[in-house]
């Protein structure tokens, strides 16, 4: 990686700041999709209004400023061409909110943190956006923030996410047995982690460095 390597721009998406007025309406729509919320393993699934989403954005930005141990990014599609309109009204492709990528619970003295990532619209999943965003987020965590270890907790039933993180060289370290009740049965929660040296040796580091 050289100093000219873009930190926040990948092959398909880029990581950006929150645009409250524009993003709240889209994210509010995602909260009406119970399946999306369950994939994230949230304890409480409920729809939120745009006003509630904007309030959450305010709290996120306040915590980032005051605590300094978390980083929240929106995931947006790279422009496909000038004046191209996306599926959500007249928002251009380069402005369309696809999802979020987050680093939090950072312990600076130990170089550790956790991450979460999600693509909100079902029609935008399976297109490589999540993988591209994860590459950027890991590059930011290990190179820019100089973290040594990042972790994530995934519900057992989210097999798509599990395959993605295992492909990115994450290792399953622990299993909380039957910690979630969904779809009429109990499921385990898997805790995975990736060390910087493992990332350095993985193809994901090479891909990120080539972007």
Question: Where are the chain's structural domains?
Answer: 13-210
Q: Three-class SS string for 26-73?
A: HHHHHHCCHHHHHHCCCCCCCCCCHHHHHHHHHHHHHHHHHHCCCEEE
Query: Long-range pairs for 125-131 at CB < 8 Å and ≥24 separation?
Result: 125/160, 127/12, 128/11, 128/12, 129/12, 129/13, 129/75, 129/77, 129/98, 129/99, 130/99, 130/164, 131/164
Rounded to two decimals, the pTM is 0.86
What b/e sequence results for 30-44 when a residue is b if at least 16 CB atoms lie within 10 Å of its CB, and e otherwise?
bbeeeebbbbbbeee
pLDDT in tens, the chain (211 residues): 444 556 799 999 999 999 999 999 999 999 888 888 888 766 677 888 999 999 999 999 999 999 999 999 999 998 864 433 333 334 455 678 999 999 999 999 999 999 999 999 888 989 999 999 999 999 999 999 999 999 999 999 999 999 999 999 999 999 999 999 888 899 999 999 999 999 999 877 766 555 4
CATH of domain 13-210: 3.40.630.30
CA angle 67, 71, 76 (to 5 degrees): 150
Token couple for 162 = 């599990």
Sign of CA dihedral 28, 80, 87, 92: positive
Sheet holding 171-182, edge to edge: 13-16, 71-77, 97-107, 112-119, 149-155, 185-195, 171-182
């Amino acid at each position: 990686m050289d100093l000219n390597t873009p930190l926040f721009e990948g092959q398909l998406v880029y990581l950006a700041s929150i645009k409250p007025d524009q993003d709240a309406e889209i994210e509010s729509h995602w909260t009406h999709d119970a399946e999306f919320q369950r994939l994230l393993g949230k304890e409480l699934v409920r729809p939120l209004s745009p006003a509630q989403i904007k309030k959450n954005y305010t709290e996120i930005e306040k915590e980032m400023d005051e605590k300094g141990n978390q980083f929240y990014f929106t995931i947006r599609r790279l422009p496909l061409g000038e004046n191209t309109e996306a599926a959500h009204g007249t928002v251009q492709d380069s402005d369309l909110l696809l999802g979020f990528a987050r680093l939090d619970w950072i312990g600076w003295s130990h170089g550790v943190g956790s991450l979460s990532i999600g693509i909100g619209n079902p029609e935008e999943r399976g297109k490589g956006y999540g993988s591209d965003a994860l590459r950027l987020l890991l590059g930011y965590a290990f190179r820019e923030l100089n973290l040594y270890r990042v972790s994530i907790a995934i519900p057992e039933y989210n097999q798509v996410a599990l395959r993605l993180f295992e492909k990115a060289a994450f290792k399953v370290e622990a299993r909380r047995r039957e910690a979630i009740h969904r779809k009429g049965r109990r499921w385990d929660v898997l805790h995975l982690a990736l060390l910087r040296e493992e990332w350095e040796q993985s193809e994901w580091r090479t891909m990120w460095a080539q972007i």
